[in-house]
Amino acid sequence: MIAFKMECSELYAADGDAALAAKDYDKSIELYSVAIELDSIDDNLFANRCAAKLEKLLWEDALIDAQKVR
């Protein structure tokens, strides 16, 4: 079950990466959030969601994500 969750998380993360590259920040935040729910261990998810939130000028939310990166 854990491996399945991690695989699903990776799929959401990949879609989040594509949305971030396309500057669709709302979609990327949503996709990274789902990926984080499935795998909250991956620091890259928090870092990438932080980057998307910074682009949306969501400073406090971005800071919270940045603080979760180890």
If one counts the domains in the chain, the total is 1
Model confidence at 18: pLDDT above 70 = yes
pLDDT at 1: 62
Summary mean pLDDT of the chain: 93
Which structural domain, as residue segments, surrounds residue 13? 2-67
pLDDT at 4: 67
4-21 average pLDDT score: 91
pLDDT at 61: 97
For the domain that residue 24 is a member of, what is the CATH number?
1.25.40.10
52-70 average pLDDT score: 96
Among 5, 4, 24, CA closest to 15:
24
Tell me, letter by letter, the H, E, C secondary structure of the chain.
Answer: CHHHHHHHHHHHHHHHHHHHHCCCHHHHHHHHHHHHHHCCCCHHHHHHHHHHHHHCCCHHHHHHHHHCCC
- Rounded to 5 degrees, φ, ψ at 42 are -75, 110
Model confidence at 54: pLDDT above 80 = yes
- Contact by Cβ (8 Å): 39, 47: no
